[in-house]
Structure 1
Amino acid sequence: MASDGSPKPPLRGSEPPGAYITSGALARRLGISPTTLRSWDQRYSLGPAQRRRGHHRRWSPQDVAMVEDMCSLTASGVSPAEAARSAKKRAHAAPQGEGTPPASARSTTAALTSGKAAGRDSSGLPLGAVRAECRGLARAALRLESVAIQEQLNTFVQEHGVVAAWEELMMPTLHAVGRKWESSGDRYVEVEHLLSWHVSTALRNAQLLLGPGETRKASPPVLLACVPGEQHTLPLEAVHAALLQRGRPVRMLGAAVPAEALIAAVLRTGPAAVVLWSQTRSLASTPLALHLLGMGWGVNGARQQAALVLAGPGWRGGRIEAAAQPQGLREAIALLASESSGLSE
């Protein structure tokens, strides 16, 4: 499957099924670099069984199946050394000419990838006690392997939903990469950027991955916006995806929305609620929040107001009466998914 969720394209070239393929073609299929293939060969003897003349490596269907198995295991959180041992064992056990491991070997995958991982991952990322999928995602991110990153994210969203994907996979891995970056100078910023891009892609594609929720007709929308100057949008994108899945009309304004633009959007859309996200305390604007709470529209005697939800760590430590301040995505969705416009604590 490609990084956008579509099936992988066939290998380039006109080689018939069963033909030997080049390292470059195999790397393109797996979404890894030829350097990774060479490294696995040098470290774990995970290379083609036969070497052709001129030292050009050509991979048989059995070789390809073995490396695909290696990628699947490492992406699921198994250490490279253990994954290589398992992949080679399966390759030797599989009947000649077949690429799919037997059922006994597939059960080994579940045993290797199940359970929780504690402490520091072998990559050095401070993951702590997390799901095994976080380890696989972190390794794929450190290798900058876009296809593996997107496949893991898409699969988790499909199997567990948006809220669980955000809380149990996306956020822990993003936090670990961020801590690694902060403690390593300017290193790993490219890892965080790539991972953030693919997390955003998975969240925006959640409706395609899960199917559209049942839309509630004639229901006022929820308006999502970052405070002026705030560039962190991923948490809001998670709210957006989760609300869409629940059939709640929603409008996403995104990063750093000027106060005047936000006020105009409220008057134009008449939302049931406004979610105002702030990552940092210095950007959390109490005057803007109070202004939104005091806004109304409609004819006299039938004035309407939007409920205000202050989300993000920037609002912690302060309290604005009449505004809801949920702790985490799950609580925010419970408030916002309600049909009524009023939000209760």
Structure 2
Amino acid sequence: MQHQPSAPAAQDLPAAALSTGAVARHLGVSPTTLRSWERRYGIGPDLREDGRHRRWTPADVARLELMCRLTARGVPPAEAARAARATATADSRAASGAADRRAGAAPGGPRSLPLGDVRPECRGLARAAVRLDAPAVEDLLDATLGELGPVTAWEEVIMPTLHAVGRKWASAGERYVEVEHLLSWHVSSALRRIRPAPEAARSPVPPVLLACAPGEQHSLPIEALAAALGERGLPVRMFGAALPADALHDAVRRTGPRAVVLWAQSRATADRALARSVAGIEWGLRGARGHSAVLIAGPGWGGGAPERTERLFGLRSGVEVIAGLAAGASPATGAGPAGPAACGS
């Protein structure tokens, strides 16, 4: 264990000094892991507030980032910690770049994901996923969803990470399939752990029915939609992936939903005739028949919406459209695009 310098006064700490929790989210590790690294390998923060609170400076974080890159390449943690400490200089960025060049790798390491300009939580989640660190992925997802809510977490953290994994997989053959599968499974699990607002169970409003088109297996975007609607207190019936056409028709007649959201990731599964037939279903007692608003979502639908349906664009705007329908607004059938991606696709 390295000797820790005297604790500076709280007002003397650099403005950029971060808490252990914030650094853990940035790196994609658990706070317990950071404390273990400090205890075992002496790679702790140089500063502490009054008392025992750890505060991590940019130089501290640079050392940890280097250690994470080295361990992701298979370097034992003790050796990675020694290398990270050895490269610490006043210019932490230069030190980290030099270590990468000595390792014969591009900055970020050969296994890093092409994320671009994203939130720190996104980088932390990506690092944990590439390491196949399932406990860290789970903790980071729960913390991000709890702090940001399902809509912002999906748009600014989860979706960019999923897209980066997909791009890496496309450029590296089959090597990153395991990363995508692990991340997708944990995203789905984390979304389902979000408890709907209590009013969702008591709501007199007809439910919203969510389903993937027949043959469509990619259900994460409508799982995010289900979580976001539940948070708003709107009742949802989720049918998940690849719901057969006959089952979809029966579900609409039995539940009398205010709206039906039909997701299609690919053009091969976007069944426009099915969407039109669902829009034509009437349900309820004779003399008091009703019908559901049909909302299509996902990149598979391509151009304009089928007759008597409306296209959703983006998770955030999709939630607002559905909330408006629940409040009694009429769907703007045939409305044009409101954003670049359909329901967070």
TM-score, shorter chain, exceeding 0.5: yes
- 2:23 pairs with one of 68, 73, 80: 73
- 1:178 pairs with one of 140, 159, 166: 166
- 2:300 pairs with one of 314, 317, 321: 314
Residues 135 and 301 from structure 1, CA distance in 2 versus in 1: closer, same or farther, beyond 3 angstroms? same
- 2:183 pairs with one of 190, 195, 204: 195
**1:275 deviation in Å?**
0.3
Equivalent residue runs for 1:138-287 within 5 Å: 138-207=126-195, 212-215=197-200, 217-287=203-273
- 1:135 pairs with one of 99, 106, 123: 123
Partners of 2:162 and 2:183 within 8 A in 1:
yes
Structure 2, unmatched stretches of 5+, are 3-18, 65-105, 336-345
Deviations 1:207-252 (A, max 9, x none): 2xxx735335221000000000000010010010001111111000
Residues 134 and 109 from structure 1, CA distance in 2 versus in 1: closer, same or farther, beyond 3 angstroms? farther
Residues 160 and 75 from structure 1, CA distance in 2 versus in 1: closer, same or farther, beyond 3 angstroms? closer
2-structure distance, mates of 1:257, 1:120: 44
Indicate the percent of aligned positions where both proteins have the same amino acid: 48
Partners of 1:120 and 1:127 within 8 A in 2:
no
Residues 121 and 273 from structure 1, CA distance in 2 versus in 1: closer, same or farther, beyond 3 angstroms? farther
Equivalent residue runs for 1:63-142 within 5 Å: 73=23, 75-77=25-27, 88=42, 90=44, 100-101=53-54, 105-106=55-56, 122=109, 123-142=111-130
- 1:342 pairs with one of 318, 323, 330: 330
Find the residue that maps to 1:220 and give its secondary structure. Answer: coil
Could you state the TM-score of these two structures normalised by the residue count of structure 2? 0.68
**1:331 deviation in Å?**
1.2
Deviations 1:100-140 (A, max 9, x none): 42xxx257699989xxxxx9855431112211211111100
2:204 partner letter: A
Partners of 1:77 and 1:136 within 8 A in 2:
yes
**1:279 deviation in Å?**
0.1
2-structure distance, mates of 1:110, 1:298: 64
Residues 141 and 70 from structure 1, CA distance in 2 versus in 1: closer, same or farther, beyond 3 angstroms? farther
**1:301 deviation in Å?**
3.2
1:313 partner letter: P
Partners of 2:263 and 2:297 within 8 A in 1:
yes
Find the residue that maps to 2:268 and give its secondary structure. Answer: helix
- 1:329 pairs with one of 311, 315, 333: 315
2-structure distance, mates of 1:341, 1:172: 32
Equivalent residue runs for 1:40-51 within 5 Å: none
**1:343 deviation in Å?**
2.1
Partners of 1:273 and 1:341 within 8 A in 2:
no
2:264 partner letter: S
